[in-house]
Amino acid sequence: MDPNEVVADVDETLARYSDLLFGTAITVYVLAMFLFLWALGSARIRRIQSAEAQQLVGATSGRATSGSAPGGGPDLNKPGKLETAPRQPFSEKLAAMAYPVVIVGVLAHLASIVTRGVATDRAPWGNMYEFISLTCVACVIAGIVVLRKAEHRPLLSFVLLPVSLLMFIAGRWLYTQAAPVVPALKSYWLAIHVSVISIASGVLLVAGVASILYLIKMRWGAPGDSADQQRTGRTAALRRIVDAIPGAEILDRLAYKSVVFGFPLFGLGVILGAIWAESAWGRFWGWDPKETVSFIAWVIYAAYLHARATVGWKHTAAAWVNVAGFVALLFNLFIINLVVSGLHSYAGL
């Protein structure tokens, strides 16, 4: 045998199990997403029923006072008057059911990552497919932690939506056979730098989702405006789902908490990357496209934290900044890897 050739030592069976588990994870995530959405939707129905009940009560006392505030202005956030027995509502039952489903998805996902690592005998985040997989599992776990309160759990559907989308893209178009990595990636820094960056990205994606929901809520979620309730068609349906999303203030706080965790972690990842680059590429910082966009994302998140401490920028503007950070992260993941070539582009993506 040629002394310059080495055998790719990959456990094919285990790698196949990893792929199966990846597919299982996507399926379970999608299932959980629909369960949560259903939970949100049925919470909406219950509220409308109670609102109608209130309107009936109000009608006896004369409802022709004003079109905009009928029935003395039913408070949609309070339980309806005809609701007698305080039994657990259907929506909460659904959400309670969906939560363990997500956990099952995470377990399958983690198992997929671990088996791939064992199959290839290296840190299982050496190409874009694997990186997205790790980022997604970090994102879901961060979502589970951040949205652990029972009343916030249905929001996980909005975390699972981009996650299953990303995982589908990764599995469909970016899939790479389990194989050893190129020499540049044969370093313990792969295990450290990439995992930290990936987990930080996952956490920051949750923050981005929270801010997007916040903006939607601020824009379309005007509470108690019952004129909108009468609208029909798609607008009304969307609006009812928006109404079912918890309060804007909660979303704002969730976004902030995630950034407070994700931002230093992302900074740590960049610093670790710089240490690696110093021994791999001859300099600790060289404005490689990936480095540049990481810098941009870092500056945007720094701006987000500053915006929150600045009068006039606190709420909607800060949320937009967070969304810009979200876009920068996705841009760094896709456009920089797939379109712009740089030192971070390795064979097989």
Distances (CA, A) of 193 to 26, 126, 267: 26, 11, 11
Q: CB nearer to another protein: give 167 or 328.
A: 328
When the beta carbons of 103 and 303 are compared against another protein, the nearer one is 303
Q: How far is the CB of 44 from another protein (least distance, A)?
A: 27
Tell me the residue ranges of DSSP E strands in 61-210.
Answer: none
Work out how close the CB of 134 gets to another protein at its nearest, in angstroms, rounded to a whole number. Answer: 21
Question: Minimum CB separation from another protein for residue 94, in Å?
Answer: 27
Smaller CB separation from another protein, 243 or 252? 252
Q: Which is nearer to another protein, 20 or 349 (CB)?
A: 349
Token digits of residue 87: 């039994």
- How many C-alpha atoms does 163 have within 13 Å on its Cβ side? 39
User: Are 202 and 139 a contacting pair, CB within 8 Å?
Assistant: yes
Closer of 39 and 328 to another protein (Cβ): 328
Shortest Å, Cβ 83 to another protein: 26
Q: Which residue has the tokens 């997205």?
A: 132
Give the residue with the Cβ less far from another protein, 37 or 197.
Answer: 197
Type of residue found at 131:
F
Least CB distance from residue 309 to another protein, whole Å?
A: 6
Q: Given the rule CB under 8 A, which residues bind another protein?
A: 2, 4-8, 179-180, 182-184, 186-187, 189, 253, 256-257, 260, 263-264, 267-268, 271, 274-276, 278-289, 292-293, 295-296, 299-300, 302-303, 305-310, 312-313, 328, 336, 340, 342, 347
- Closest separation in Å from C-beta 265 to another protein: 10
* Alpha-carbon gap, residue 243 to 41, rounded angstroms: 10
Structural contact between residues 297 and 332, judged by C-beta atoms closer than 8 angstroms? yes
Q: Which of 284, 290, 260 is nearest to 272 (CA)?
A: 284
Please count the residues of the chain: 349
Cα 109 from chain centre: 15
CB 154 within 8 A of CB 26: no
